[in-house]
Amino acid sequence: MPDGARVDALVDQLLEAHPPASTKDTEFWAAQYDLGLGWVHFPEGFGGLGLDPKLQERIDERLEQAGAPSNVNVNFMGIGMAGPTIVVRGTDEQRQRFLRPAFACEEIWCQLFSEPGAGSDLASLSTRAVRDGDEWVFNGQKVWTTLAHVADWAMILARTDPEQPKHKGLTYFLIDMRQPGIEVRPLRQINGEAEFNEVYLTDARTPDSLRVGDVGEGWAVALTTLMNERVAFGHLSRAPRGSGAIGQAVRALQSHEPDDEAARDEVTKAWIANELVRLTTVRAQEMRERGTPGPEGAVVKLAYTTTVEQTWKLAVDLMGPDGLLISNYDMIRPTTMGGSSIAESGENQDVVKAWLTQRGGTIGGGTTDIGRNILAERVLGLPGDPKADKDLPWSQVPRS
C-alpha cells in the first residue's frame, strides 16, 4: 500500500475509535502516538512510522478537518523540541520513557537554556552540573523560561567542565522540574502577562541516565534542539492567507480609516509583505521536508517575526485613540504558548495586547540581529564576527 494511503487508513482508524467530540484530549493524542501518527517520521514504536515527514502535514490537516484537538501550543517545547531531540540524540530508554507522555501532553516540557549572562551567546552559560555518584547536581540561574510554571520536565544545558573552551565544556540533560531544588518565579512581560519565568537551581538533581549525549557534547545536542525550535516556529507562522495581524490591519482600516487612501496604501504594502512571508515559509518548509532543518529556518523566523510585528503596529496606528487601550493588564499566567492575547482570533482579538506580545517574538528563539548574522554568515557566506574567546578555557573568559 502506498504510504499516503496507509496513513489515510490509520487516520480513519484513529477517528473512528476515538471520535474527537467525545474523547479526552490527552487520550486522543496518546492514541495518535500509538498509531504512529504523532511524529510520522520517527521510528515505529516511538510515535512514528519511519515515513516522509511531509506526510505529517496531510495527517494534521485531516485531523483538523475532523475537529481533533491540537497539542502543539499545549506542549510546544515537548512536541517541537524535546521529542525531536530525544528521538535523535537520546537512548532507547529515554525515548520509551518520555516521547509518549510528551506527545499526549501528560507531561509538559520547558527549555532551561538562557541565563542572565547568556542568551544570544548561549555557549557562555554558567549553570554548573557536578557529578555525584550516579547523579548530577545543578546550581545556577536560568531565565526567560516559557511555561516553567506548568512544566514537569526540562531540557537543560549546563557546564560540566569550566576548564574547556565554552562550547566544549557543556552537557545536556533532562531534569525533573517538580523537585525541591528548583524554584520558579514569574517574570511579568510588557503585555501584563507572565508566560515566562526565572528558574533557580539549588542542588537540583538528575540521574546520569537522563544525560543526553556524552559529557562535553552538550553543544551539539543543544543545536539539534535549537534547529527544531526554528522549525516549530515555522509551523506557527503557517497561518492562512489574510489571517492574524494582517487580517486585523484590514479590519482596522475598514472600521477606522475607510476613506484614507494613504492608509489603504500602507495596508496593501503590508498585505504583500505578509503574503511573501507566507509563501517563503511554505517553500522553506518544503525544502526542509526533503532534507534536514538548516539555516533557512532562521530566514523564516526573521522574516515572519519582523513582518508580523510591523503589521500589528500598523493595525494599532490605524485604530487611532482606540489603539491606546488594552483590554486588561491583569497578571495572567498562561498555560499554553503565545499567551491569552493570541488565543483569541478574529474580532475578539485584543490588537494592542497582540502587538505587545509579538515584540517577544523578535527576541525569543534567537533575536532579529542574530537571525541576520546567521543569514550573513551561513547563507550569504560573509565573514563572521571575530570570536576572541572561542579557544580560551571558559574559566578564563572575562564575565560581568
Ligand X SMILES: Cc1cc2nc3c(=O)[nH]c(=O)nc-3n(C[C@H](O)[C@H](O)[C@H](O)COP(=O)(O)OP(=O)(O)OC[C@H]3O[C@@H](n4cnc5c(N)ncnc54)[C@H](O)[C@@H]3O)c2cc1C
Binding residues vs ligand X (CB under 6 A)? 110-111, 113-114, 119-120, 144-146, 196, 360, 363-364, 366-367, 369-370, 373, 385
Report angle CA 115, 336, 229 to the nearest 5 degrees: 50
Q: Please name the residue ranges forming H helices in the chain.
A: 3-17, 25-34, 54-65, 76-77, 83-89, 92-103, 218-236, 244-256, 261-290, 296-318, 339-343, 351-361, 368-374
Rounded to 10°, the helix 3-17/54-65 angle is 30
| Min CB(366)–ligand X separation in Å | 6
Nearest approach, Cβ of residue 1 and ligand X (Å): 41
Q: Work out how close the CB of 204 gets to ligand X at its nearest, in angstroms, rounded to a whole number.
A: 16
C-alpha dihedral sign at 301, 307, 309, 311: negative
Active site residue 229: yes
Residue number with CB closer to ligand X (46 or 355): 355
**CB closer to ligand X, 127 vs 349:** 127
Q: Closer CB to ligand X, residue 12 or residue 329?
A: 329
Q: Of 191 and 285, which has the nearer Cβ to ligand X?
A: 191
Find the shortest distance in angstroms from Cβ 384 to ligand X: 9
For residues 120 and 255, which CB has a smaller minimum distance to ligand X in the complex? 120
> Cβ 271 to ligand X, closest distance in Å?
26
Compute the C-alpha angle 272/273/276, nearest 5°: 85
Cβ proximity to ligand X, 26 vs 141, nearer residue: 141
For residue 211, the Cα-to-chain-centroid distance in whole angstroms is 22
CA 229 to chain centre: 5
> From CA 324, how far away is CA 360, in angstroms rounded?
19
Q: Scan for cell 557566506, then name that residue.
A: 381
Give the contacts of 209 (CB within 8 A, at least 6 positions apart): 91, 93, 94, 134
Residue 30, CA distances (Å) to 76, 90, 104 in order: 16, 21, 5
Q: Where does residue 240 rank: exposed (0-12), middle (13-18), buried (19+ CB within 10 A)?
A: exposed
CB of 110 to ligand X, least distance (A): 6
Strand, helix or coil for residue 102: helix
3-state secondary structure of 361: helix
Q: State which residue, 326 or 363, has the beta carbon closest to ligand X.
A: 363
Task: State in angstroms the smallest separation of the CB of 364 from ligand X.
Answer: 3
Residue length of the chain: 400
Cell numbers given for 346 = 478574529
* Residue nearest ligand X, Cβ-based: 119
Catalytic-labelled residue, pool 229, 266, 296, 309: 229
- Residues serving a catalytic function are 229
